Amino acid sequence: MTATEKDLLFMKLNMSLPVRVLVAIGKLLGRCLPLKNPSALFFFFPFYHVGGAEKVHGAIVRCFSAHSPWVFFTKKSVNNGFLSLFGNKAQLFDIWPLLKYGYPLSVGVMAGVVNRHKDAVVFGSNSLFYSLLVGHLAPSVRVIDLVHAFGGGSEIFTLPVANRLDARVAINGKTVSDLKEQYREAGLPQALAERVVLIENFVDVPANYPVKEQQAQLKLLYVGRGSEEKRVHLVGRIASRCRQLSLPVEVIIVGDALQAVDGADRGACTFLGELADQVELLRIYGEADLLLLTSTREGFPMVIMEAMAQGVVPVSTDVGGIPTHVSSGHNGWLVSAGLSEDGIVEEMVAIVARMCRDREPLNAMSVAAYEYARKNFGGERFCSSYRSLLLAAGGN
């Protein structure tokens, strides 16, 4: 049984009579606890370790720093690299063992705590606990979630509670379309599909183009996890192939991805490990020329936004919302995700070889990538959109 199938099984059992009895007991306990959240804003996220989704979650919470919201983490984080990104005004609760192993009583206790708050707003993303909680919240509670990418599994186990969501946020137009198509295929009312809204992520973009210092070697960069869908082993194969062809490049891998690269290819790569220091990460972006992304699926990854803001040209598979922002041959390069793995490696190596031979097109694309980021990835609308959505009911 896959992880998604297990999550879906939990969702099916969540409204069974035995679970509802235990949840009801938990609700009574929750109502008796001397806990009061003055903001009535409750956030549920799985982790605070280093990751693109965690960076987004932290930015959302910081939008509400004036309200001092409560933030609950529902799974064990592998490090505390991005804990500080949630700001120093929010109340952070890292009580994942109680939430996870205390189910279903923990769902009931949390529902009891939330339900006794007037004008309560609950927001979650990528969290099974949050999805289990949603069905037990009072009708007066405003419920909203965030979907980073369609195809990761969360869109499946959240479907049973779609009718309880007052709004769903997607970070790119492709995910909006995918969710609406999922609703249509599931026979859900059109009115529910209209609750899906688009709020794109943002990154800090320099006021001026960060001029690249031309070096003898091109620096190729990968930033991210070593998870299966990222296919980081292809980045290792690209590095080895570039070495075989004597191309003047250095392939740098940032993130917990060493084990994802085949042993035979590791010698062709420079591994920097995970970096929580954002200043250091910006320095690395500033020295990089090309970003490599070989994923089978994505929403629209923060790493592409961060790279383009620093004039780094993305070389990516054409998945998720990436083709919406990356125009092949103009501000980046797109390779068909439908190719075989060998085909993707050869296509990307050919692009790298072309950039090595002629730096002028690369320089022009670097400027185009930055300009696109400057016009499209700024944060002016990000916080205002989330505030309007979450506080729409008033009273906060």
Burial of 380 (0-12, 13-18, 19+ CB in 10 A): exposed
Instruction: Report, as an integer, the average pLDDT of 288-301.
Output: 95
C-beta of residue 136 within 8 angstroms of C-beta of residue 130: no
Q: What are the φ/ψ torsions at residue 315 (nearest 5 degrees)?
A: -120, 105
Q: 232-243: per-residue pLDDT in tens?
A: 999 999 999 999
Least confident interval from 73-87, 146-160, 239-253: 146-160
* Tally of helices (H runs) and strands (E runs) in the chain: 17, 13
User: What integer pLDDT is reported at residue 395 of this predicted model?
Assistant: 45
Q: Is the pLDDT of residue 394 over 80?
A: no
User: What integer pLDDT is reported at residue 351 of this predicted model?
Assistant: 98
Least confident interval from 20-24, 35-39, 159-163, 389-393: 389-393
User: What integer pLDDT is reported at residue 166 of this predicted model?
Assistant: 97
User: Percent of the chain beyond pLDDT 70?
Assistant: 99
pLDDT, mean over the chain = 94
Q: Is the pLDDT of residue 8 over 90?
A: no
DSSP states of 5-39: HHHHHHHHHTTSHHHHHHHHHHHHHHHHS----TT
User: What integer pLDDT is reported at residue 256 of this predicted model?
Assistant: 92
Q: 89-133: per-residue pLDDT in tens?
A: 999 999 999 999 999 999 999 999 999 999 999 999 999 999 999
d(CA 210, CA 310): 6
Domains, the chain, with CATH or none: 3-202+379-390 (3.40.50.11930), 218-376 (3.40.50.2000)
User: What integer pLDDT is reported at residue 12 of this predicted model?
Assistant: 83
Q: Is the pLDDT of residue 380 over 90?
A: no
C-beta of residue 245 within 8 angstroms of C-beta of residue 308: no
User: What integer pLDDT is reported at residue 266 of this predicted model?
Assistant: 97
User: What integer pLDDT is reported at residue 192 of this predicted model?
Assistant: 96
d(CA 336, CA 218): 23
- b/e code 115-130 from CB counts within 10 Å (16+ = b): bbbeebbbbbbbbbbb
User: What integer pLDDT is reported at residue 152 of this predicted model?
Assistant: 78
Q: 127-169: per-residue pLDDT in tens?
A: 999 999 999 999 999 999 999 988 878 888 899 999 999 999 9
Q: Is the pLDDT of residue 207 over 70?
A: yes
Strand intervals (E) in the chain: 41-45, 70-73, 91-93, 121-125, 142-147, 167-170, 196-198, 218-223, 249-254, 269-273, 290-293, 313-317, 333-335
Instruction: Report, as an integer, the average pLDDT of 19-35.
Output: 94
d(CA 37, CA 67): 10
Q: 333-348: per-residue pLDDT in tens?
A: 999 999 999 999 999 9
User: What integer pLDDT is reported at residue 396 of this predicted model?
Assistant: 52
Q: Is the pLDDT of residue 393 over 70?
A: no
Residue 375 CB contacts under 8 Å (≥ 6 apart), including other chains: none
Q: Is the pLDDT of residue 41 over 50?
A: yes
